[in-house]
């Protein structure tokens, strides 16, 4: 059974960089066949896709966040990470990592496994 677990600071100061890691168990990121995404949910609001990474390191980001987002992968640790720079209070949200299965290397556009989420608050 695949499990995803987010980790990282729950409090970040404005203008600093938010850093989170997602540890994957029950399956290997380096086996391919999946996009690994970050998704966030502002308090009491809907979901917003941030970006994804493939095991090879190729990425795709939401254009609205692209200038501030970096997603990286460490296959040796079976982890992928999110960095969001120059954060403001508007970046306060629950951040989820999630898996999207590929079908013959084609995206399927749905997320079958999610982490439990981690609340990140941006405040001085």
Partner 1 sequence: QSALTQPASVSGSPGQSITISCTGTSSDVGGYNYVSWYQQHPGKAPKLMIYEVSNRPSGVPDRFSGSKSGNTASLTISGLQAEDEADYYCSSYTSSSTRYVFGTGTKVTVL
Residues interacting with partner 1, by CB under 8 A?
A: 45-49, 60, 62-64, 96, 107-112, 114-117
Between 43 and 124, whose beta carbon lies closer to partner 1? 43
Beta strands (DSSP E) in 31-77 are 34-41, 47-53, 59-61, 69-74
Nearest to 50 by CA among 35, 34, 66: 66
Kindly state the smallest distance separating residue 109's Cβ from partner 1, in Å. Answer: 4
If you count them, how many residues does the chain have? Answer: 124
Kindly state the smallest distance separating residue 18's Cβ from partner 1, in Å. Answer: 19
Between 13 and 42, whose beta carbon lies closer to partner 1? 42
CA 107, 67, 17, 30 torsion-angle sign: positive
Between 11 and 47, whose beta carbon lies closer to partner 1? 47
> What are the angstrom distances between the C-alpha of 23 and each of 2, 29, 81, 86, 116?
11, 10, 9, 24, 12
Kindly state the smallest distance separating residue 16's Cβ from partner 1, in Å. Answer: 26
Kindly state the smallest distance separating residue 3's Cβ from partner 1, in Å. Answer: 11
């Amino acid at each position: 059974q695949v499990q995803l677990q987010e980790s990282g600071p729950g409090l970040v100061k404005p203008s600093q960089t938010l850093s989170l890691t997602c540890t994957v168990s029950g399956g290997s990121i380096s086996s391919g066949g999946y996009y690994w995404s970050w998704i966030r949910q502002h308090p009491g609001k809907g979901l917003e896709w941030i970006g994804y990474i493939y095991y090879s390191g190729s990425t795709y980001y939401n254009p609205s966040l692209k200038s501030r987002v970096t997603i990286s992968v460490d296959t040796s640790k079976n982890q992928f990470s999110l960095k969001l720079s120059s954060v403001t209070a508007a970046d306060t949200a629950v951040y989820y990592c999630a898996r999207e299965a590929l079908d013959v290397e084609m995206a399927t556009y749905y997320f079958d496994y999610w982490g439990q989420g981690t609340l990140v608050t941006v405040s001085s």
